[in-house]
Amino acid sequence: MSRIFVADDHPMIQAALNSLLRGGGHEMVGCATSGAEALEQIAQSDADVLVLDVQMPAGSGLHVLSELRGRGDERAVVLLTAAIGDETIRSALALGVSGIVLKTSDPSLLIDAIDTVSKGGTWIDEHLQDRVAALNDRGAPRRSLTDRERELIRLVRQGLKNRDIADRLSTTEGTVKAYLHAIFDKVGVENRTELAMKAPELIGPD
């Protein structure tokens, strides 16, 4: 039996998940309805697995994941979502997410995901596996950079550290780190130095 913390801003979904988890032999040991509340409560929780809704007020599931990794919390995290974009998937993978489950899938799959990640494995919803494989394939055609990614590359080229970039973009260091790893994969570089050297090719001269 695993101890599960659930963060979802819909009380009815929390209740349904609690019932589902009990039926699957797990125990829900905590819950939150916002990203901020989740971060506060998770710090005091003995949960083995954290189930986070991607879309929540006061901090998304991805934001919570980013903050946890920034704190050194490496517990298994399963993202639960109705829909998810490629950039969110890429960022989540860069942050070491353990599982991604679509809310439109069979509810029993969440139990499968929890059983897998609690043993150190990774579980990706079958409807997302092809997309994840494509995102992980460094040989795949590179996609165009978003405006946010271009701005981040520009700040890296200026020599700013993650903390300074986070302040400039009104976000967290963890989120900046996630974006950077996503950019590294997208443009085929290994580190900040290579990214800065390649910046003129990617975004043009200042």
pLDDT of residue 45: 93
- The pLDDT score that the predictor gives to residue 189 is 81
Nearest CA to 34 among 13, 6, 12?
6
Whether the pLDDT of residue 7 is over 80: the answer is: yes
Return the pLDDT at 76: 93
Residues in the chain: 206
- For the segment 124-166, what is each residue's pLDDT rounded down to a tens digit? 998 888 888 777 664 344 456 778 888 999 999 998 999 999 8
* Structural domains for the chain: 3-136 (3.40.50.2300), 147-197 (1.10.10.10)
Most confident stretch, 8-12, 34-38, 91-95, 197-201: 34-38
Whether 48 has a pLDDT exceeding 90, the answer reads: yes
Contact predicate 114/2, CB 8 Å: yes
- Quote the crossing angle between the two packed helices 147-157 and 162-169, to the nearest 10°: 140
Q: What is the pTM of this model?
A: 0.66
Q: Is residue 47 pLDDT above 70, yes or no?
A: yes
Q: What is the pLDDT of residue 140?
A: 43
To the nearest whole number, what is the mean pLDDT of the chain? 86
Q: Which of 8-12, 112-116, 134-138, 175-179 has the least mean pLDDT?
A: 134-138
> Residue 154, SS3?
helix
* CA distances for 79 relative to 40, 49, 157, 206, angstroms: 18, 11, 33, 38
Residue 183 reports pLDDT greater than 80: yes
